[in-house]
Amino acid sequence: MHWKMTFRILFTATAIAGVVVSTRTSSGVEPAETSGVALRTAEGAAPTRGVALQSSGRHFVGVGGCAAANCHGGDGTKGTVGSEYSIWIQDDKHAEAYSVLYNETSQRMAKLMKLDKPAHQAALCLNCHAPQNDPPFAGKNVHGSLSALLDGVSCEACHGAASDWLGPHVRHDWAKQSPEEKAALGYRETKNLWDRSKVCADCHVGEPGRDVNHDLYAAGHPRLFFEMSAFHANMPAHWDRNDDRGRAGPDRDKSSFEAKLWAIGQLASAEAALDLLVHRAENTRDDFVLQDKNAKYPSGETVAVWPEFSETGCFACHHNLDSPSWRQKRGYTSRNAGGYPWGTWLFPILPTVVKSSGTSDLASSDSPLSKLIREMSRPYPNRKAVVSNARDLQSILTKSAANIDAQRLSADQITGWLKGVSVTGNSASQQSWDGATQSWLSLTAIHQGLTDVSGSTGQPSEKSQQINKSLEQIRTHLEFPKGFDSPETFSSDPATAISAELKKIHDILE
């Protein structure tokens, strides 16, 4: 049963990924040798400001160490176990992550940003597209050989730099070691859903030292639209998805997996975004302006800009002006007219998730989230206030995730989540395309979670079919028009139509 179910969410999720992810350009590697750009280890003075470096000294041993047929390079005839390498190299986009740095978009980005190196040599890009150390920015220079870089986002980018654990992990007692013992060798745990989501968020949300900020967006980087359920479903699994479901929570209840992955993914992604926010508040460089026409953007670091536009709803600034305006009619909730809508992608559904964990009421006007939204709507937010509220919010999110992970979820509980998101989603959809899309992704994931917990196997129930129909309708209102990398005009028409479908979903569940 679970295989089929998983496949369906994969299909649905793939559909959204097709919508929100910009069109791909061809990404063939031009071998560095023949194009004359020999890959050198970067030298020269590292810029002094920016990320606080922790130098663990752990380095990647490279995929070559994993690919042997009797290790992880099997042919898949015995299932996924032992064939991790083959699945990754054949089907996983992560294996191409370095090659894309040679494509037209990347080359144009490097030019527009005035990088002092081409994209495929810039630590700024390589930290996410072909990391070689853990942490990746331990040293701003690129240490990898071409063949190491060609691995792109390889095994160790997710499982941790193996220089200290490669040997131990093939010994018989490895399985008996505690997560703490493994972590001490640099091994990153991915079984636990919070840690797993944090691994993905490192690159798909960003972390201090790995950052797709508005400088990169304005130069052409595709927007990072991360949502754990959808991305997890879209990544070709080199593990047994059925076994994996049994690892959710302490009592190994397979049925709760999808619902938990969604909830914990929401909490972990927001927690990661808050880390970046704090980093920006504490490390901003007021002096950073490329004034001189010969000035270069440092390719070895990310620049912490304050306030950072990429944290604000993109389509709040990037839209056409019309009259009478939908936004003026709609109103600005707690913001002043013209205030910045902060956190529209990762935060709109969060109050519902946190409420369901029983830890806190983020919707109340004096919650750290409400305070952050108000502060960040100002043109020059107070950095101290932002840091303290962000820290408070982070501890609420961590606690909420632990609470949810420890529960065995019932069908009633998950139905409550669906209802909750259909209500929160309604107001979020009135505010922005981001809010509407997060609501849709959330409902899709939780609905799958409900199907699992209800244990239904054959035909989906009547209710379930109706919900799917509404979700499909919502999806059509979210799609970008041809030729656009934005919703072009997300205004009262799609917002009203989406609200109507969300209300239908709510009524079906009553």
Restricted to residues 166-195, the positions that interact with ligand HEC (CB under 6 A) are 190-191
* Dihedral sign from CA coordinates of 300, 306, 312, 317: negative
The residue from 125, 274, 346, 390 that contacts ligand HEC (CB under 6 A) is 125
Residue 189 to residue 170: CA distance in whole angstroms = 16
* Residue 24 contacts ligand HEC per CB under 6 A: yes
Q: Which of residues 238-257 bind ligand HEC (CB under 6 A)?
A: 238-240, 243-244
Residue 71 to residue 173: CA distance in whole angstroms = 17
The residue from 96, 116, 181, 488 that contacts ligand HEC (CB under 6 A) is 96
Q: Smallest Cα–Cα separation from 236: which of 126, 76, 102, 125? A: 76
Cβ atoms of residues 445 and 483 within 8 Å? no
Q: Which of residues 45-74 bind ligand HEC (CB under 6 A)?
A: 63, 66, 72
Which class for 358: exposed (0-12), middle (13-18), buried (19 or more C-beta within 10 A)? Answer: exposed
The pair of structure tokens assigned to 180 is 């703490």
Distances from the Cα of 415 to the Cαs of 9, 410, 443, 505, 507, in angstroms? 18, 9, 10, 11, 12
Which range binds ligand HEC by CB under 6 A, 32-40, 104-112, 347-355, 443-451? 104-112
- 348: Cα separation from own chain's centroid: 15
* Residue 127 contacts ligand HEC per CB under 6 A: yes
* Residue 221 contacts ligand HEC per CB under 6 A: yes
* Residue 288 contacts ligand HEC per CB under 6 A: no
Closer residue to ligand HEC (CB): 19 or 235 = 235
The pair of structure tokens assigned to 343 is 């956190």
Closer residue to ligand HEC (CB): 381 or 420 = 381
* Residue 202 contacts ligand HEC per CB under 6 A: yes
**Type of residue at 52:** A
Largest CA distance in the chain: 70
Residue 366 Cβ vs ligand HEC, minimum distance, rounded to whole Å: 26
Closer residue to ligand HEC (CB): 79 or 358 = 79
* Residue 105 contacts ligand HEC per CB under 6 A: yes
The pair of structure tokens assigned to 131 is 């990391």
**Type of residue at 476:** T
* Residue 305 contacts ligand HEC per CB under 6 A: no
- Tokens 């990398």 belong to residue: 485
- Please list, in sequence order, all residues whose beta carbon lies within 8 angstroms of the beta carbon of residue 503, skipping any fewer than 6 positions away: 422, 426
Residue 88 Cβ vs ligand HEC, minimum distance, rounded to whole Å: 4
* Residue 316 contacts ligand HEC per CB under 6 A: yes
* Residue 501 contacts ligand HEC per CB under 6 A: no
* Dihedral sign from CA coordinates of 486, 492, 498, 502: positive
The residue from 1, 52, 53, 317 that contacts ligand HEC (CB under 6 A) is 317
Closer residue to ligand HEC (CB): 300 or 420 = 300
- What region does 284 belong to: left with phi over 0, alpha with psi -120 to 50, or beta? beta
Q: Smallest Cα–Cα separation from 310: which of 233, 372, 392, 222? A: 222
* Residue 154 contacts ligand HEC per CB under 6 A: yes
**Type of residue at 336:** N
The pair of structure tokens assigned to 23 is 């069109």
* Residue 119 contacts ligand HEC per CB under 6 A: yes
Which range binds ligand HEC by CB under 6 A, 81-89, 177-185, 400-408, 445-453? 81-89
* Residue 310 contacts ligand HEC per CB under 6 A: yes
* Residue 138 contacts ligand HEC per CB under 6 A: no
* Residue 212 contacts ligand HEC per CB under 6 A: yes
* Residue 148 contacts ligand HEC per CB under 6 A: no
* Residue 204 contacts ligand HEC per CB under 6 A: yes
Residue 388 to residue 71: CA distance in whole angstroms = 47
Closer residue to ligand HEC (CB): 176 or 462 = 176
* Residue 232 contacts ligand HEC per CB under 6 A: yes
Residue 443 to residue 184: CA distance in whole angstroms = 38
Closer residue to ligand HEC (CB): 319 or 355 = 319
Closer residue to ligand HEC (CB): 105 or 133 = 105
String of b and e for 176-191 (b: at least 16 CB within 10 Å)?
A: ebeeeebeebbbbbbe
Residue 312 Cβ vs ligand HEC, minimum distance, rounded to whole Å: 4
Q: Which of residues 340-359 bind ligand HEC (CB under 6 A)?
A: 340
Residue 462 Cβ vs ligand HEC, minimum distance, rounded to whole Å: 32
Q: Which of residues 443-482 bind ligand HEC (CB under 6 A)?
A: none
* Residue 216 contacts ligand HEC per CB under 6 A: yes
Residues in the chain, total: 510
Closer residue to ligand HEC (CB): 128 or 421 = 128
* Residue 81 contacts ligand HEC per CB under 6 A: yes
